[in-house]
Amino acid sequence: MVLLVTFGKSMLVLRGGADILSHLYWSVATLVIVLSANVIAMVHAARADRLIAELRAALEVERARRS
């Protein structure tokens, strides 16, 4: 949603009908939201990798116990 508002404001700036400072505020907000989403995705991926490694180790232990 923020990205769409920023795009709309940028179109108004190009046409000369909007305040440039307002567009800059929305642009910064968009960047912060996108960067935050990327950080959250990286943290989630790291947790998932750790969980997969733990499950693989438990599976190997179970396989060794059954053999």
**CB-based burial of residue 9 (10 Å sphere; 0-12 exposed, 13-18 middle, 19+ buried)?**
buried
Distance CA 64, CA 55 (A): 14
Of 12-16, 32-36, 59-63, least confident by mean pLDDT is 12-16
pLDDT of residue 41: 97
The per-residue pLDDT for range 34-55, each reduced to its tens digit, is 999 999 999 999 999 999 999 9
**Contacts for 16 with CB less than 8 Å, ≥ 6 apart:** none
53, 43 in Cβ contact below 8 A? no
The SS3 of residue 39 is helix
